[in-house]
Amino acid sequence: MKPSILVAEDEGALVTLLRYNLEREGYRVLAAQDGEEALLVAAEEKPDLVLLDWMLPQLSGIEVCRRLRGRQETRNVPIIMLTARGEESDRIRGLDTGADDYLTKPFSMTELLARLRAVLRRIRPSLAEDVVAVGDIEMDRAAHRVRRAGKEVHLGPTEYKLLEHLIQHPGRVFSREQLLDAVWGSDVYVEARTVDVHVGRLRKALNIEGVNDPIRTVRSAGYALEDNVVAG
Ligand code: CA
């Protein structure tokens, strides 16, 4: 899954430039032209990062930032503020409101991409890299391959997506509903027990030696990928 970036910016030429450069770097780009739209797209699409213009129509970037931080589903999304104003007080206000970083226009694409990678790496390390490893499980998202203890693991598309989600948050317990949202999307109707079926398949595929199950079932809570599992 490519990391998705929401570009909340009303200058069309800048949006085009950002889209071109971000897509070339392998990101999926979502766009919003004003503050209201930015909140809507952020809530619906749950982007991995938001590039947020300070001066937006409808709602200012600062207000958007504040509201994103105030909502459960977008509370932790990394935010980089973009602004034409380079005053120190604005910078501090932006960071106070909960932005993770700040860029003053005009900025170079090289700098923007570097900052973006740095924020993603800091906040969601697994998003910035093609290869993610947890314990002896290794997932290469560029090659679409999974290995456990060096041995190739063959997964169906749903099991692959499940693992991709779990491996980004090792140790964390996800409810069936959260996994449904993350893997199937919130607009698809799937029964909760479907999650159990696919987790069962993933578990079986990963448990190559039949001795060490990396997926923990938390009764009445959900599932987690153990963060320190080694086969055998
Ligand atoms: Ca603007």
Q: What is the pLDDT of residues 125-171, one digit of tens each?
A: 666 677 888 888 999 887 889 999 889 999 999 999 999 989 888 88
What is the 121 CA–ligand 1 centroid distance (Å)? 27
Q: What's the 25 CA to ligand 1 centre distance in angstroms?
A: 24
Give dist(CA 154, CA 194) in Å, integer.
20
Sheet with 101-104, side-by-side order of all strands: 28-32, 4-8, 49-53, 79-83, 101-104
Give me the pLDDT at residue 43, please: 93
Position 126 scores a pLDDT of 64
**61 Cα to the center of ligand 1, angstroms:** 9
Mapped onto helix, strand or coil, the DSSP state of residue 125 is helix
pTM of the shown model: 0.59
Torsion of CA 43, 44, 50, 52, to 10 degrees: -70
Residue 8 Cα to ligand 1 middle (Å):
9
Task: Tokens for 224, please give them.
Answer: 């987690």
Share above pLDDT 90 across residues of the chain, in percent, rounded to a whole number: 50
Report the pLDDT value the prediction gives residue 226, as an integer from 0 to 100.
85
Output the CA 11–ligand 1 centroid distance in Å: 6
pLDDT tier for residue 90 given thresholds of 50, 70 and 90: low
pLDDT digits (tens, 9 = 90+) for 41-75: 999 999 999 999 988 998 999 899 999 999 988 88
Report, at the CATH architecture level, how domain 4-127 is classified.
Answer: 3-Layer(aba) Sandwich (3.40)
Fold of 131-225: Arc Repressor Mutant, subunit A (1.10.10)
Compute, in angstroms, the gap from residue 70 CA to the centroid of ligand 1.
Answer: 23
Is there a shared CATH topology between the 4-127 domain and the 131-225 domain? no
Q: ∠ at Cα 117 (112, 120), nearest 5°?
A: 125
Position with higher pLDDT, 221 vs 31: 31
Give me ligand 1 centre to Cα 34, in Å: 9
Structural tokens at position 227: 């963060």
Output the CA 186–ligand 1 centroid distance in Å.
Answer: 31
Judge contact between 49 and 79, C-beta under 8 A: yes
The residue extents of the domains of the chain are 4-127, 131-225
Report the alpha-carbon distance of residue 210 to residue 229 in Å, rounded: 13
Q: Is the pLDDT of residue 231 over 60?
A: no
Distance in Å, CA 40 to ligand 1 centroid? 18
**CA-CA distance, 216 to 171, in Å (whole number)?**
9
Q: With beta carbons less than 8 A apart as the criterion, state whether 62 and 35 touch.
A: no
DSSP secondary structure code for residue 71 in this structure:
S
Instruction: Report CA Rg, the chain.
Output: 19
